[in-house]
Structure 1
Amino acid sequence: MSVVGRYLKKHIEALVKDVGIEAACELTGKSKATLGRYYSDYPEHADRYMPVDAVAALEEAASYPHVTAALAELKGIQLQFDESRRNAKSSGGVNSDVIALSQRFAMLMAEYNQSIEDGVISANEAKRLLKETLALQKVLIDMKLHLEDETV
């Protein structure tokens, strides 16, 4: 199997596990065995990939567009993922921003702690840290905008 094939299958597996196997079966109308074949690295399943409509259905339910991001990375394209589902906009102003900021910072530190546990930060761990850092930056920008609104 090609390197690209293995890479895509790894992200298909991450997508299915993100949604949960039972939910993935329900959303796609596929069996557990069929979904497993889509990310299996056995030679007999090397040419099996998840159909794009199934990917779309699962990514709608997932916390992150695993396969779409993988395809973009293969083409050297960077996606900007809107984290607003995690940091829902609130009208609480600066107080809500401070709470969101502390929560985001805690998530970044937890991710860092998990990443550095073995003494090495892998490429995937670095990507997760970057994702959390960008989410933290977004909260800071929201806070800045709220503070500017209050000073006018």
Structure 2
Amino acid sequence: MSISDDFKEKLKAGKIVDALTLALSEAIELEITTWVSSNKSYAQTSAEAEQPHADCRMRTRLNIVDGDIENEIGSQFIGNGLYTELRQFHLDQVQEGRQIIQQNLENLQQLFSVLTKTMNQLPQESRQLESGNPVLPPSSQDNLP
């Protein structure tokens, strides 16, 4: 099952906290890859065919939790390589990715504000993680013995 399908199933089951936890765990990293495909295939398997050859790709990974940035630049994008004109395109995509991350963080902040305000209105079952541990301490409205 895909992450998206799993998220939807948790929402349908009323497990809002589990759905949000899943979404957040998948949202910490952004990967941007620029690559030039070729008619020549270096791949031995179909899985390898989906991956660009290392010298024909640029890849940047941004981890918003750790603040890590990893860059991989193939040899064809540097010096007198065939694809040096695509470097600026890739840099533009990375900048756009940073803007997307900023927007996503602002959206998450708004989401958490709404979630905090409405959490006490949810049934007790919806406030539990699958492990059975409550996400928030019980409120005075929970009528616990």
Q: Do both share a fold (TM > 0.5)? A: no
TM-score, structure 1 as length reference: 0.28
| TM-score w.r.t. length of structure 2 | 0.29
Structure having the larger proportion of residues in helix:
1
Q: More strand by proportion, 1 or 2?
A: 2
